[in-house]
Amino acid sequence: MPYKERQSIVSLLTTTLVAVVFFVYVLPRYPTGNPYSPAVFHFWGLAVVILIPVSIAANIAVSIAFSIVYSMATQEKTSLVSDERDQLIELRAIRNGLYVFAGGFSLAMGSLAIDMPPSVMFIIIMVSGYGSGLVSNLTQIFLYRRGC
C-alpha cells in the first residue's frame, strides 16, 4: 500500500478520534434550561473555538509522527514527495468534502428557518464538518486505490 494511501487512512482515523473525543467530553457539558439562552450560544462558540485548533494540531502531530515512523520503517524518502497526481487527488478530495459541508451548512440554515433550536443548527454543522473530513479522506483512499 503506497505511503499516500496509508496517510489518508491515518488521517481518517485521527479525524474520527477527534470527533469521538469531542462528542464524549464536550456534549455532556451542554447547559440545561432554556435552549435559546446566551449560555447555549456561549457553549457552542467555545466548543467550536476549542475544536478547530485541537483538530488541526492533532492532524499535524499525527501526520508528522506517521511520516517519521514510515520513513524509519521503510527507509523510503521519495514517496514523501507530492507530485501532480497527488495534488489532483487532494483537490478532488477537498472538492467532495466541501460538497458535504455545503450540504450540511444548507441543512443547518434550514433548521433555523423551520424554527428549530440553535443547538440543532450547531450539531448539524459539527456533524457535517466531520462528514466533510470523512468524505475527503475516503475520496483520497478510493482514488489512490483506483489509480486516479
Partner 1 sequence: MSAWVIRNNIRTLRFHHDEMTQQQLAEKAGVTRQTIVAIEKGKYSPSLELAFRIARAFDVPLEEVFFVEDSQP
Q: Residues in the site for partner 1, rule: CB under 8 A?
A: 2, 4, 78-79, 81, 83-86, 144, 146-148
In the bound state with partner 1, the residue whose beta carbon lies nearer, of 3 and 44, is 3
The C-alpha cell at 35 is 435552549
Cβ–Cβ < 8 Å for 134, 12: yes
In the bound state with partner 1, the residue whose beta carbon lies nearer, of 2 and 45, is 2
The C-alpha cell at 1 is 500500500
Nearest distance from residue 147's CB to partner 1, in Å? Answer: 3
Nearest distance from residue 82's CB to partner 1, in Å? Answer: 8
Residues 6+ apart with CB under 8 A from 101: 128, 129, 131, 132
The C-alpha cell at 8 is 489518508
In the bound state with partner 1, the residue whose beta carbon lies nearer, of 29 and 146, is 146
Cβ count near 61 (within 10 Å): 11
What own/partner pairs with CB < 8 Å and gap ≥ 24 does 73-76 have? 76/3
Nearest distance from residue 83's CB to partner 1, in Å? Answer: 4
Nearest distance from residue 81's CB to partner 1, in Å? Answer: 6
In the bound state with partner 1, the residue whose beta carbon lies nearer, of 44 and 86, is 86
